[in-house]
């Protein structure tokens, strides 16, 4: 069984509940404010670890209370931390407005934008069977460097292209899978780059993996508590299952199940409060 090495963001999520999103110049009344553990990288690392695989988290936090709280949460889970502490820069934060069904998010990258130029140098023994999982809440240049490093050593590279930016063609081509939101599918198709495999997230409709549709559980509206982090739960689970050697149908089915489970609790991670 391989390891999952996650290069990604570590954030604190500040989430407020509203009935309707404000228009420009409008003020609305919020119902609550919660402080949760978040960041696509940390969310996916937690989801992967829940599948019983060895997980290494590569990233950066500020030398502040938020950073210490984030690391103190991840370490007891058995996630191995290769995390820089960046002085004079805050830990990343996400400001989340949620009506329970959808969300709008503003991200302050903070320390996530300061990850060093050779992010995987401390990860020894990277080899075939391992899975590198990365997203784009860290600089695209660092993602590209890590992907090339892992690919040269025979590891599987999974790129969650969110938030969407254009990565170099060679990095897209080595992704297995490259994961896109449905909204970004046309923009990527125009580039005429073929990854090893392409997975498109389609929300409640499930996902397409190289054109094959995998459908997940349709969660009744009354059971939906929070949609934040559902795709991260899916992707972290998928990476772990692939590291275990699961085939595509098995990995996709379990990943969709975990995404459905995730919308039934508040915050991107289970018991997520910091």
Q: Give the active site residues.
A: 232
**CA 77, 203, 257 angle in degrees (round to 5)?**
45
Tokens of 210: 């190289």
Per 3-state DSSP, the chain is made up of helix, strand and coil in percentages (nearest 5) of 30, 25, 40
Helices (H), the chain: 40-49, 65-74, 140-152, 169-173, 185-189, 230-243, 248-262
Give the whole-angstrom CA distance, residue 66 versus residue 71.
9
- Residues 6 or more apart whose CB falls under 8 angstroms from that of 78 comprise 49, 55
Sheet holding 11-17, edge to edge: 32-38, 11-17, 92-98, 103-108
Give the whole-angstrom CA distance, residue 198 versus residue 132.
16
Q: Checking DSSP bridges between strand 4-7 and strand 198-201, what pairing results, if any?
A: unpaired
Give the whole-angstrom CA distance, residue 102 versus residue 224.
10
Strand partners, 104: 97
Tokens of 186: 């046309």
Q: What is the DSSP string of 203-265?
A: GGG-EEETTEEE------GGG----TTHHHHHHHHHHHHHHTT--HHHHHHHHHHHHHHHTTS
């Amino acid at each position: 069984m391989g390891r999952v090495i996650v290069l990604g963001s570590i954030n604190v999520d500040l989430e407020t509940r509203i009935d309707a999103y404000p228009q420009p110049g409008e003020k609305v009344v919020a119902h609550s404010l919660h402080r949760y553990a978040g960041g696509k990288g940390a969310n996916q690392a937690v989801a992967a670890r829940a599948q019983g695989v060895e997980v290494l988290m590569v990233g950066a936090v500020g030398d502040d209370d938020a950073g210490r709280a984030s690391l103190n949460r991840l370490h007891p889970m058995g996630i191995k931390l290769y995390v820089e502490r960046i002085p004079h820069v805050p830990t990343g934060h996400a400001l989340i407005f949620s009506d329970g069904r959808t969300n709008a998010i503003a991200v302050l990258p903070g320390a996530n934008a300061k990850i060093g130029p050779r992010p995987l140098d401390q990860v020894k023994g990277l080899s075939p069977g391992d899975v590198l999982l990365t997203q784009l809440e860290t600089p695209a240049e660092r993602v590209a460097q890590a992907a090339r490093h892992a690919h040269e050593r025979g590891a599987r590279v999974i790129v969650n292209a969110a938030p969407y930016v254009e990565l170099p063609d060679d990095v897209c081509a080595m992704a297995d899978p490259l994961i896109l939101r449905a909204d970004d599918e046309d923009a990527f198709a125009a580039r005429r780059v073929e990854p090893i495999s392409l997975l498109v997230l389609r929300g409640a409709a499930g996902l397409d993996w190289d054109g094959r549709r995998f459908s997940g559980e349709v969660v009744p509206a009354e059971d939906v508590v929070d949609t934040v982090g559902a795709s991260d739960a899916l992707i972290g689970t998928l990476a772990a299952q692939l590291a275990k050697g699961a085939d595509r149908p098995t990995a996709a089915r379990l990943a969709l199940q975990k995404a459905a489970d995730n919308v039934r609790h508040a915050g991107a991670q289970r018991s997520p409060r910091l």
